[in-house]
Structure 1
Amino acid sequence: MVLTHERAFDELFRAHHRTILQAAYHRLNNVRDAEDAAAEVFSVAWRNRANAPAIYTLPWLYGVLRNVVGVEYRRRGRAGLRDDQDERPSDDVLAPDAADDARDLRRVVASLHPADRELIWMAYWEDLARSEMAEILGCSQAAVRVRLLRARHRLKTALDAQNVDPGPRQKP
């Protein structure tokens, strides 16, 4: 049975590590912190491997990531740290669509409140279904729709204020 749990963890890691690392980077804007957060997510998964069939889903990993990121936000707040990118991430962290023409758009999204930024990333970059977002956030799908509508409105306001045109084919 141990081999089965370890195999399930290995499959989970191979299937979702890059996704979780990218999601962590998009939330933390810092490569080292993103790597640490992804490592912590999979550390929690490893510790819970006996429950593997029941918990090993991408929404569960996102929920763990959300908790890990929340701890990091609180740490930054106590330490008085800014939420700035400290270095350009490697290709392993950035999604393939991270082209130079999206830099301004990403900067504006990064300037949003963390809750809005998380919704925008989950919906448009990570392309999660509203049901998955609801599971991750611990709320109803209706609440996700309302929160996302408000986040999109605040994103549009920020884009207009900074004269950034996302273009017709770009993700917000």
Structure 2
Amino acid sequence: MKQLSDCSAVILCGGKSLRMGFDKALLQVNGEYVLLKMVQQLEQLFPKVLLVTNDRQKFPPTFQQAAIIEDHYSEKGPLGGLVTALEQLETSHLFLMACDIPQFSVPLIEEMALYIYTHEVVICQQESRLEPLFAFYHRSCLPIFLKQLATDDWRIRKEFAQFSVKKIPLKDSYGLNNVNTPEELVFWQ
């Protein structure tokens, strides 16, 4: 596995977790924080992994080694977190994912990375649905996303027609299911 030197990973962990009933970013399985395990996995691929959150104070001391930044646009949904990350970006690309994807595939990320130098957005597609919270974004996307923040439509995919987008169809072996309710916690076991 080769590290992607000109790309940072960003995990969005500032959602409200209303359906779950507790903050998913602080979920523990067998006494370990799932989010920290995700960081460790991503550190194998990326030189820098950032957590974007609505409140950095919510994290216990166990997270002191993690790079945590606060969302500058916390009331603008995931788009606000993405724009915050792009503004802080020290590399030309970032890989964005949500903190509630229990089973993500490193080989899938590596496959997606093959297209980052020819496309501004590289995104997974499950059937007809795009997965904007499991995608690569080039820093050139920032001005368009910044303008979009001023509108009432914060869907990340809304402005994709303005970008060069590569869609990676998901194979059956790759599952990108978000865990949103207590009943779905079995996916993290």
- TM-score tier by shorter-chain length is 0.3 to 0.5
Considering only CA atoms, is the larger Rg found in Structure 1 or Structure 2?
A: 1
More helix by share: 1
Return the TM-score normalized by structure 1: 0.34
